[in-house]
Amino acid sequence: MMPRHGRGWAMGRAQGQEDRHSPVIGSLLEPALLILVKGAPSHGYSLLSDLGKMGFSTIHPSVIYRTLRGMEDLGWIQSDWVTDQTQGPPRRTYHLTEKGEEALQFWKQELSRTNAIILQLLAKEESD
């Protein structure tokens, strides 16, 4: 049986499971949420679809909600319940805090660094 995430991801893909994301995508969820919430305060369900458009479509909703709660525990974002202007039950709407802005700065550096490493890896593979 296939591991459900992480190790050996590329194996599952080869066997026709296109709908499972790689571990890299999962690891980018946190900075992606910070950036989206910084852009405009938002709630889980809306972030879910924003992320979908950005290439995070395979991440399970519960993972996104759980991550948001975790980030709130860390003090990076804060939530308020919004009951009006909703087409359904109340929304928990998150906004970025100063602490979250700080964390985002670290993440930005890390994203650049990651970019460099990936380019290096691709270049090395090309040269073989």
Partner DNA sequence: TTGTCTATTGACATTAATAGAATAGTATGC
Partner DNA sequence: GCATACTATTCTATTAATGTCAATAGACAA
Interface with a second copy by CB under 8 A: which residues? Answer: 6-11, 13-14, 22-28, 30-32, 35-36, 38-39, 54-55, 67, 70-71, 74, 76, 102-104, 106-108, 110-122, 124-125, 128
The residues, ordered by sequence, that sit 6+ positions from 98 with a Cβ below 8 Å of its Cβ are none
57 near DNA, judged by CB under 7 A: no
Tokens of 44: 């889980």
Among residues 16, 73, 88, 127, which is the contact residue for DNA, using CB under 7 A? Answer: 88
Separation of alpha carbons 35 and 30, rounded Å: 9
Residue among 44, 40, 102 at smallest CA distance from 70: 44
Pick between residue 31 and residue 92 the one whose CB is nearest to a second copy: 31
Among residues 10, 16, 87, 127, which is the contact residue for DNA, using CB under 7 A? Answer: 87
Separation of alpha carbons 57 and 2, rounded Å: 20
Tokens of 41: 């305060």
Among residues 31, 41, 50, 69, which is the contact residue for DNA, using CB under 7 A? Answer: 69
End-to-end CA distance of the chain: 33
Separation of alpha carbons 22 and 26, rounded Å: 7
Pick between residue 40 and residue 127 the one whose CB is nearest to DNA: 40
Pick between residue 53 and residue 83 the one whose CB is nearest to a second copy: 53
What are phi and psi for residue 98, nearest 5 degrees? Answer: -65, -40
The number of residues that bind DNA (CB under 7 A) is: 37
> Footprint of DNA on this chain (CB under 7 A)?
1-8, 20-21, 23, 26-27, 29, 43-46, 59-63, 65-70, 86-93
